[in-house]
């Protein structure tokens, strides 16, 4: 075990040439980031999750009720023992051959069976009230942490001149504000990592899991080798658009369509500007070029920059989705449901009652928008 730890904490990997861990030990004159500080993130992540539960129940839920957001979910599929057995034991997405077999067995037309399976899948999805509460929690946290980051960074020299991120590196003392900012962000991402398995599931679950994993690794990595100054720039920049997105989703769930459209437009502008413009030209410029000039490359420097380039790749992916939604909005006149939606929608043809052998046994819509009428047409559900 001692050999493994010695290999993992090899100074030639983590630190610039001629720098040792002993040089970065805390003294009475200066405090530096220590790896053991990161253990604080786990109990704090649990506390954040508990605060979220309290917030959603006693703050977000009353706000949702005041906005007339109901707790009802999608339409319930009518009971059918045969279809339920197929759904739970065999498949939730029957192929054409199985649909035809079920049609003959039940004396239903194929479209009615397709509608039943669609309703049954949607039946397991959360209500609009649940969605609103989740978005309000995230909005509140993102707004707080971004505001804190801006207030902290505006007093630092590296916000105005990024070369200060590397002057006297790695002998840059750790301030109380910087330590709090880093541990808070790391704790929040740990809480998201765990709660992602219980939160609303979306099609990009894998991408979001990768995003949280990269974020946690990047925060941890940059703290250990004291790249925290440039790390704060990355964190604050990536927090800038998140509150606007959650606000747009809340407006959507409350059926304030014009406000949703405006907020989503603001979110798209901030997101694309910060992540495709400012991030590469400002942050990547200092981590790749200014640091090379002032400090020089070493193994963990390469890893850190590769992680940032991976983050930029994710930024490009989400920017593509945002532009796609914006193009649809222009053609439809409002923000449309994005391609990651966790609720399945149906075409106009499928929503109208198809001609079946026994029409009275076919499933019916709820009179709004097909099998998932509770899903608003302006579903701003893009996540960071």
The two most distant CA atoms of the chain are separated, in Å, by 85
The single-letter DSSP state of residue 287 is: I
The single-letter DSSP state of residue 376 is: -
**Segment 254-269, tens digit of pLDDT:** 999 999 999 999 999 9
Give the predicted TM-score (pTM) of the model.
Answer: 0.79
pLDDT at 333: 65
**Torsion-angle region of residue 22: left (phi > 0), alpha (psi -120 to 50) or beta?**
alpha
Which long-range contacts (C-beta less than 8 Å, at least 24 apart) are formed by 81-84? 82/106, 83/113, 83/116, 83/117, 83/120, 84/120
**Segment 167-197, tens digit of pLDDT:** 999 999 999 999 999 999 999 999 988 887 7
- Judge contact between 346 and 371, C-beta under 8 A: yes
**Segment 105-146, tens digit of pLDDT:** 898 999 999 999 888 888 777 888 999 999 999 999 999 999
Residue bearing the bigger pLDDT, 315 or 371: 315
- List the structure tokens of 228: 């925290």
Mean pLDDT of 270-276: 96
pLDDT at 5: 83
pLDDT interval class at 93 (50, 70, 90)? confident
Q: Which residues make Cβ contacts (< 8 Å) with residue 304, sequence separation at least 6?
A: 218, 221, 222, 225, 227, 287
β-partners of residue 369 are 371
For the chain, give the percent of residues with pLDDT over 70.
84
**CA 44/CA 147 separation, integer angstroms:** 20
**Segment 54-86, tens digit of pLDDT:** 999 999 999 999 999 977 666 788 898 989 988
Instruction: Please provide the DSSP assignment of 49-72 as one string.
Output: HHHHHHHIIIIIHHHHHHTT----
pLDDT at 75: 74
The single-letter DSSP state of residue 284 is: I
Mean pLDDT of 137-161: 97
**Torsion-angle region of residue 55: left (phi > 0), alpha (psi -120 to 50) or beta?**
alpha
Residue 360 has pLDDT above 90, yes or no: no
Mean pLDDT of 29-52: 95
Which one of 18-22, 346-350, 364-368 scores highest in mean pLDDT? Answer: 18-22
Which residue ranges make up each domain of the chain?
32-65+128-331, 81-124
Q: How far is CA 86 from CA 5, 125, 161, 234, 293, in A?
A: 52, 19, 63, 48, 64
Start-end of H helices in 240-298: 242-253, 257-273, 285, 291-294
Which CATH fold would you assign to the domain 81-124?
Arc Repressor Mutant, subunit A (1.10.10)
Mean pLDDT of 304-311: 94
Residue 380 has pLDDT above 50, yes or no: no
pLDDT at 73: 64
**CA 166/CA 122 separation, integer angstroms:** 52
Among the listed residues 262, 239, 241, the one whose alpha carbon sits nearest the alpha carbon of residue 252: 262
**CA 331/CA 381 separation, integer angstroms:** 19
């Amino acid at each position: 075990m001692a050999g493994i730890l010695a290999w993992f904490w090899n100074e030639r990997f983590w630190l610039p040439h001629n720098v040792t861990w002993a040089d970065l030990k805390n003294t009475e004159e200066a405090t530096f980031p220590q790896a053991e500080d990161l253990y604080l993130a786990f109990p704090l992540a649990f506390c954040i999750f508990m605060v979220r539960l309290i917030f959603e129940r006693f703050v977000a839920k009353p706000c949702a009720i005041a906005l007339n957001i109901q707790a009802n979910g999608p339409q319930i599929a009518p009971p059918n023992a045969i279809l339920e057995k197929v759904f739970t034991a065999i498949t939730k997405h029957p192929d054409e051959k199985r649909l035809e077999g079920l049609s003959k067995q039940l004396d239903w037309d194929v479209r009615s069976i397709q509608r039943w399976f669609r309703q049954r899948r949607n039946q397991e999805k959360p209500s609009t009230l649940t969605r609103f509460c989740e978005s309000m929690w995230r909005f509140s946290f993102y707004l707080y942490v971004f505001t804190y980051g801006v207030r902290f960074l505006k007093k630092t020299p590296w916000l105005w001149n990024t070369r200060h991120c590397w002057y006297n590196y790695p002998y840059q003392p750790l301030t109380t504000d910087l330590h709090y900012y880093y541990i808070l962000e790391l704790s929040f991402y740990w809480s998201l990592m765990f709660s992602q398995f219980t939160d609303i599931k979306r099609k990009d679950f894998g991408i979001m899991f990768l995003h949280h994993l990269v974020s946690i690794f990047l925060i941890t990595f940059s703290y250990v080798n004291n790249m925290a100054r440039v790390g704060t720039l990355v964190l604050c920049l990536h927090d800038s658009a998140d509150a606007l997105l959650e606000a747009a989703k809340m407006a959507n769930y409350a059926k304030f369509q014009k406000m949703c459209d405006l907020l989503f437009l603001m979110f798209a502008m901030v997101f694309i500007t910060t992540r495709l413009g400012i991030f590469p030209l400002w942050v990547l410029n200092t981590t790749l070029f200014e640091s090379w000039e002032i400090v020089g490359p070493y193994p963990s420097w390469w890893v850190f920059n590769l992680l940032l380039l991976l983050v930029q790749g994710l930024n490009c992916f989400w920017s593509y989705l945002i532009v796609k939604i914006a193009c649809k909005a222009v053609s439809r006149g409002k923000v449309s449901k994005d391609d990651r939606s966790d609720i399945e929608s149906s075409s106009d043809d499928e929503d109208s009652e198809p001609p079946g052998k026994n029409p009275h046994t076919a499933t019916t819509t709820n009179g709004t928008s097909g099998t998932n009428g509770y899903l608003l047409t302006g579903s701003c559900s893009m996540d960071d």
